[in-house]
Structure 1
Amino acid sequence: MTTINQDSAVTLHFTIKLKDGSVADSTHNLGKPAKFVIGDGSLSENFEQCLIGMTAGQSQAIELAADDAFGQPNPDNIHHMDRAKFIGESEVEVGTIMAFSGPDGMEIPGIITEIVGDSVTVDFNHPLAGQDVIFDVEILSVE
């Protein structure tokens, strides 16, 4: 039985829940599990430490404080844009999540948090930044 350690390739299903029990994200919704290598930077170090030692077939609920999950909101990730940039967008309203082109051409999701006159405030922080979360993980395979 292979145990998760540094450099293991891990395939797992996870469900991210908030403290109130509501589900924020789940690989079950996508219909396919997540796969990553321990130490590749896709997960926080503290989260990886919680996975080390687990084996395929194991399930566990891992509670993470905001700093260990998606970090704290960064004020530099909040941008004010001219409403004219949104011409043709059907719904520019508070709470709308839109995809914007980042400097590297990758799409970045931003959530509209405020509209004042011609100024639209868009928050590019991860929607779960600043939140304590619970990861329900189910380890499918370890290579």
Structure 2
Amino acid sequence: MILRLFRQYHTENAGFSRRDGSAGPGASATYIVTSHKNGMSVQNGNTIRVHYIGELTDGTRFDSSEGRDPLEFTVGSGMVVPGFDAAVLGMKIGETKSVTIPPADAYGEKTDEMIVDIPRGEFGEDFTAEPGEQLMIQLGDGNQIPVTITKINDTAVTLDANHPLAGKTLVFTITLAEILETNPDA
């Protein structure tokens, strides 16, 4: 039952991020360009490299490329959340942009359908875990998805398959480092 529910959601939504590029009702992103240089600009289909800092609206940093290689992805391919894809369009090498991305253009809203109770016996007698721990659940099609244990009692284990950033507004500072490939059809 649980695997069917996760598989159905995963199939219908292509994972936890919205990969179709659509925005939810009333969603909008805020862009602030802080610096840029002249030259070629990013178009859909380009393979690019960016440095970024990802924060929540309260300033809590959840990810960054600092101290690592830049993030490389093909714009418009669904490799990043839709709001990040949209933010890099038109950027030029060396340009830095700050963008605020609402949940609809990031990891979506948190949904109750992604929270389920599983009978404790299905985990085996030697199962030991604490709320807050993450597990990987294998779906019927062989794919795996991460879930977070939110509650454990004598009869059930509550699992949450919402993305940890679901329901959150994200703030990214993005610097375009390179445009590696251009899309000849763009």
Alpha-carbon distance, 1:2 to partner: 2.2
**Structure 1 CA distance for aligned equivalents of residues 151 and 175 of structure 2:** 38
Alpha-carbon distance, 1:89 to partner: 4.2
**Structure 1 CA distance for aligned equivalents of residues 168 and 141 of structure 2:** 27
Match of 1:134 in 2: 171
Q: Which runs of 4+ in 1 moved over 6 A?
A: none
Alpha-carbon distance, 1:9 to partner: 1.0
**Structure 2 CA distance for aligned equivalents of residues 14 and 68 of structure 1:** 17
Alpha-carbon distance, 1:13 to partner: 2.2
**Structure 1 CA distance for aligned equivalents of residues 137 and 61 of structure 2:** 25
Q: Deviations over 1:27-75 (max 9, x none)?
A: 336x232221111122344432221110122222211111111111132
Q: Is the 2:82–2:106 Cα contact (8 Å) retained in structure 1?
A: no
**Structure 2 CA distance for aligned equivalents of residues 13 and 106 of structure 1:** 29
- Say which one has the larger Rg: 2
Alpha-carbon distance, 1:136 to partner: 1.7
Structure 1's unaligned 5+ residue stretches are: none
Q: Which TM-score applies when normalising by structure 1?
A: 0.85
Match of 1:36 in 2: 73
Larger RCO (alpha carbons 8 Å, 6+ apart): 1
SS of residue in 2 equivalent to 1:76: helix
Quote the RMSD (CA, aligned, Å).
Answer: 1.9
- The amino acid of 1:115's aligned partner reads I
Match of 1:57 in 2: 94
1:6 corresponds to 2:49? no
Alpha-carbon distance, 1:11 to partner: 1.2
Structure 2's unaligned 5+ residue stretches are: 1-38, 182-186
Q: Taking structure 1 as reference, are residues 38 and 97 closer, same or farther at Cα in structure 2, changes over 3 Å only?
A: same
Q: Taking structure 1 as reference, are residues 85 and 33 closer, same or farther at Cα in structure 2, changes over 3 Å only?
A: farther
Q: Which TM-score applies when normalising by structure 2?
A: 0.68
**Structure 1 CA distance for aligned equivalents of residues 79 and 41 of structure 2:** 19
Flag the structure with higher strand content.
1
Q: Taking structure 1 as reference, are residues 103 and 10 closer, same or farther at Cα in structure 2, changes over 3 Å only?
A: farther
1:79 corresponds to 2:116? yes
**Structure 1 CA distance for aligned equivalents of residues 42 and 79 of structure 2:** 16
SS of residue in 2 equivalent to 1:43: coil
Q: Taking structure 1 as reference, are residues 89 and 35 closer, same or farther at Cα in structure 2, changes over 3 Å only?
A: farther
- The amino acid of 1:28's aligned partner reads E
